[in-house]
Every structure is written in C-alpha cells, then in structure tokens.
C-alpha cells in the first residue's frame, strides 16, 4: 500500500482549491487536513469541503507555522506577492510545498526562498502546470530522444484572449504591479518562459532584450462617448466589445471565480445581484478608464550560453486564446498549438523530388487522455499527482518542476522586465544559481 500524503491549503482561492480537488478524486493518495486564509468565509468553505476541524483552520501562514507540524505539505495558492513571505516560515516549520507561480516577484526574494528550501531540505514544486499537459510533455519526449538534434531556435507565443486580459490585467487583481508586484509577463507567461527553458534543458540563458507597452487600454483610445462604468454611465455599452454585461452577465460562468468574489457571502446570487455588483466593483469599469499600469503585450528575446536564441510574444486582446511552440533544431523541427492538441515533426529530406518529411501527432485521438482534458491542457491534476508521487519517494516524471528547475525561467522574466523598462540588453546573472545546487 502506498502512503496517503496530507496537505494544508494556504490561500483558499481558485488555484489552491483546484489543486486540492485532487484529494476528492483520489482520497487514497491525498488528504486535506488544514487551511489558512485571512477571509473567514473562505476558511469556512474549505473546512466544509474537506471536513477540516476548527482547530486546524488558521487566519495566517505565520499562525499555522507556529503550531506543531501536522501534515506533510502545503498547497500554497496565495497571491503573487505573498508567495515567499508565506512560504518561508512554513518551510522552516518542516513542510514541503506545492507553490503557485510565479513563485517570487523579484530576484532577491527568489534567492531567499531557494536558500531557505536548501537549508531546511524541503521539497518545493512550482505549479508550472503546462509541463504536464500531454501536448508539451509529448514534445519534450521527442526533444529528449534527439529527434530534432540540438535546438538552435525556440519561438513561443501566447495569445491572451480579450476577455482574459480584461478580467485579469485590465480590470482585475493583476492590473497594477505596485499591488500584486508581478508584471503581466510574470503573472501570465512565466509558464511559457519555463517551457522555453525546459526545452533547452541544462543550457542556461545569457542575455535578454524585451519590448512592450500598454498599447490599447488607455483613456485616449476609448471609443467616443464611452462612460466610466459599463452599467452606470455608458451610452455605448450595447455596442462595446468589452461590455461587462456581455462578458460577465451574458456569460455567467466565464471567470466567475474572479468577477463575483464580492458576492461570495450570497449562496446563489441572482442576475440582479450581479448587475448591482458590477455597478461598483472593479469588474464593471470601462477597460479604457481603469488604473492599470501593466503592459497589454510584450516581446522577449533570449540568447543562451550555447548561442541558441528564443523569442516569446505575449499578446493581450486576441480574439481567441492560444499557445503555440516552434522548435528548430539541427536535424528537424517541431511546431504545434496547445489548443489543437496537435504538433508536426519536420525533418530535412534532400532526396530528389522531396524537401521535408513530416509526422503529424494528434493527441486528441490518443487513449492517454486528450490534450485538452482538464485545466491547463490537462496539466492541473497531473501536476498534483506527480507532486504526491515525489513526496512518497517514487520516481518523478520528466515534467517535474522543482524550485531549482524554475529559476532560469523566472530569471529571464525579471531580466526581460528590466530590459523593457531600461531600453537595454540585460545580462543574466547566473552566479547565485550556481551557488545553490539542487536539494
């Protein structure tokens, strides 16, 4: 019999509860035994969902850390700027941790987290769930098998849909870096930076350049006659592509876990309740007249120590969400789109009458779970399953994302933001990285 792993939720928001739901699907593998969250309602809801006794419900991570250890690990789903402050005392208290990304908001606290995890010999897994999506895992297997040789260029793109950028980065909790302390690049696309680093294995990044801005969501670009709130004073709301009514009332389940957080105290809010909420909440604001100070698009260029180059283009406001990846190697190419669950492998074919040989891989028809099943392309639950196996001493999968594995992607993101703000190329400082070998 394999041992059941016990976990405590810290930050009982959407992401932590998604990961914790693995305990309901696989109760023999994972059990939730505690919760820490400053919001009483969220503590109560988590306690009810997982049958947590009152003595194991806490307001803060510090209160939890002061108690004798009573679980194996923490599922840390706090906001970006709270990740390191909540993680440090819990690692010191003896807990392993599944930590939401981005795991830090600057290099100084990143190295502090690495040092603390090493000193206390704790396992910290970062929630780079896309590594676990069948689409990316299958591509990684082909790269490891040497099918396209040495990678000389990586082209990644994330098209953030108009409704996603509006709810998260224009109206939502990630619209100001001085609040959440993460840039849009780090909050939204550190997944993609991580995937680029993963495909390059142990080859470290050397230099970074980046360009971006808030191109669209500015007062001067507002349509003529636009008000300040969609359902209060906007005469053009009925024709607006970013109408809060169209995004959140006409699509009641779209981003509901963000938009209706002010109504959590109401068991079954009515349409009237929701409309009244949008008249005062941040999600009812005109997208051109908010206080956002993050970009809506950004391009990143990376040079690696072996001379390989990589690009990431993050574009907010796309008509359709998508993530694409194109790897060009010395022996061939791999290119595909996550949402389509398909990729193509191309090889040079110099025979007369030929140019390339192609292999098309369609994961949606395979029996090992379609690429789109589950959150993040099927990655969410696979991530938790792998973390549980790691804590039980079982061999990790190729997708396992340790804290050390995530350093390069975060370093590139921090350097990219500095490069964009300063208008210069930034050297990646790898000296601290080499000073902290894997736990």
Instruction: Tell me: pLDDT of 371 over 60.
Output: no
Q: Which domain holds residue 401?
A: 130-217+293-435
Number of domains in the chain: 3
Length of the chain: 439
CATH at residue 165: 3.30.360.10
422 and 346 share a domain? yes
Quick: pLDDT tens for 40-50.
999 999 999 99
430's tokens: 């790898």
The pLDDT score that the predictor gives to residue 369 is 39
311 and 423 share a domain? yes
164 and 265 share a domain? no
The pLDDT score that the predictor gives to residue 375 is 58
195 and 340 share a domain? yes
CATH at residue 29: 3.40.50.720
49 and 77 share a domain? yes
The pLDDT score that the predictor gives to residue 287 is 98
Instruction: Tell me: pLDDT of 370 over 70.
Output: no
Quick: pLDDT tens for 115-151.
999 999 999 999 999 999 999 999 999 999 999 999 9
Per DSSP (E only), the strands in 145-279 are 151-161, 205-213
Quick: pLDDT tens for 399-432.
998 998 899 999 999 999 999 999 999 999 877 7
Q: How far apart are CA 335 and CA 324, in angstroms?
A: 8
The pLDDT score that the predictor gives to residue 354 is 86
Instruction: Tell me: pLDDT of 437 over 70.
Output: no
The pLDDT score that the predictor gives to residue 376 is 55
142 and 224 share a domain? no
What pairs with residue 9 in β-bridges?
A: 35, 75
Please state whether beta strands 151-161 and 124-126 pair in parallel, antiparallel, or not at all (unpaired): unpaired
208 and 317 share a domain? yes
Domain boundary among 122, 148, 177: 122
Q: How far apart are CA 236 and CA 143, in angstroms?
A: 51
350 and 409 share a domain? yes
Q: How far apart are CA 371 and CA 337, in angstroms?
A: 11
From its phi and psi, is residue 32 left (phi > 0), alpha (psi between -120 and 50) or beta? beta
Domain boundary among 99, 122, 145: 122
Quick: pLDDT tens for 381-401.
999 999 999 999 999 899 998
Mean pLDDT over residues 12-20, rounded?
Answer: 94
Domain boundary among 81, 96, 122: 122
Enter the pTM of the model.
0.93
The pLDDT score that the predictor gives to residue 368 is 43
326 and 386 share a domain? yes
The pLDDT score that the predictor gives to residue 140 is 97
209 and 347 share a domain? yes
User: Please, what is the average pLDDT of the chain?
Assistant: 93
The pLDDT score that the predictor gives to residue 201 is 87
333's tokens: 């190419």
300 and 353 share a domain? yes
Instruction: Tell me: pLDDT of 372 over 60.
Output: no
Ranges 94-98, 154-158, 223-227, 374-378: which has the least confidence: 374-378
Instruction: Tell me: pLDDT of 2 over 80.
Output: no
- The answer to whether the CB of 57 falls within 8 A of the CB of 43 is yes
340's tokens: 């389509």
231 and 198 share a domain? no
């Amino acid at each position: 019999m394999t041992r059941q792993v016990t976990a405590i939720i810290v930050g009982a928001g959407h992401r932590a509860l998604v990961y914790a739901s693995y305990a309901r699907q696989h109760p023999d593998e994972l059990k939730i035994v505690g919760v820490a969250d400053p919001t009483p309602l969220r503590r109560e809801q988590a306690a009810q969902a997982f049958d947590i006794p009152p003595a194991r419900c806490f307001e803060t991570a510090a209160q939890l850390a002061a108690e004798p250890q009573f679980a194996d690990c923490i599922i840390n789903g706090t906001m970006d700027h709270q990740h390191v402050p909540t993680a440090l005392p819990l690692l010191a208290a003896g807990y392993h941790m599944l930590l939401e990304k981005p795991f830090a908001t600057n290099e100084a606290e990143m190295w502090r987290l690495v040092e603390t995890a090493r000193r206390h010999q704790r396992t910290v897994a970062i929630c780079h769930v896309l590594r676990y999506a069948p689409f990316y895992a299958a591509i990684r297997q082909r790269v490891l098998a040497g099918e396209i040789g040495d990678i000389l260029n990586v082209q990644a793109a994330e098209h953030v849909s108009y409704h996603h950028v509006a709810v998260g980065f224009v109206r939502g909790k990630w619209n100001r870096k001085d609040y959440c302390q993460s840039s849009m690049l780090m909050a939204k696309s550190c997944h993609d930076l991580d995937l680029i680093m993963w495909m390059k294995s142990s080859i470290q990044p050397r230099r970074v350049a980046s360009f971006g801005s808030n191109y669209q969501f500015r007062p001067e670009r507002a349509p003529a006659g636009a008000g300040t709130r969609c359902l209060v004073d906007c005469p053009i709301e009925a024709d607006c592509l970013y109408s809060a009514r169209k995004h959140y009332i006409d699509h009641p389940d779209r981003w509901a876990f963000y938009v209706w957080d002010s109504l959590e105290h109401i068991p079954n809010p009515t349409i009237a309740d929701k409309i009244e909420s949008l008249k005062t909440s941040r999600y009812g604001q005109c997208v051109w007249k908010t206080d956002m100070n993050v970009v809506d698009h950004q391009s990143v260029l990376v040079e690696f120590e072996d001379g390989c180059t990589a690009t990431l283009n993050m574009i907010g406001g796309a008509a359709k969400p998508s993530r694409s990846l194109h790897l060009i190697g010395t022996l061939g190419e791999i290119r595909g789109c996550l949402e389509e669950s398909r990729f193509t492998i191309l090889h040079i074919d110099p025979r007369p009458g030929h140019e390339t040989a192609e292999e098309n891989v369609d994961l949606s028809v395979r029996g090992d779970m379609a690429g789109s099943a589950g959150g993040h392309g099927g990655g969410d639950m696979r991530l938790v399953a792998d973390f549980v196996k790691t804590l039980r001493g079982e061999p990790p999968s190729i997708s396992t994302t340790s804290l050390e594995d995530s350093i390069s992607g975060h370093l590139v993101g921090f350097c990219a933001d500095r490069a964009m703000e300063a208008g210069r190329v930034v050297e990646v400082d790898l000296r601290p990285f080499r000073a902290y070998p894997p736990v």
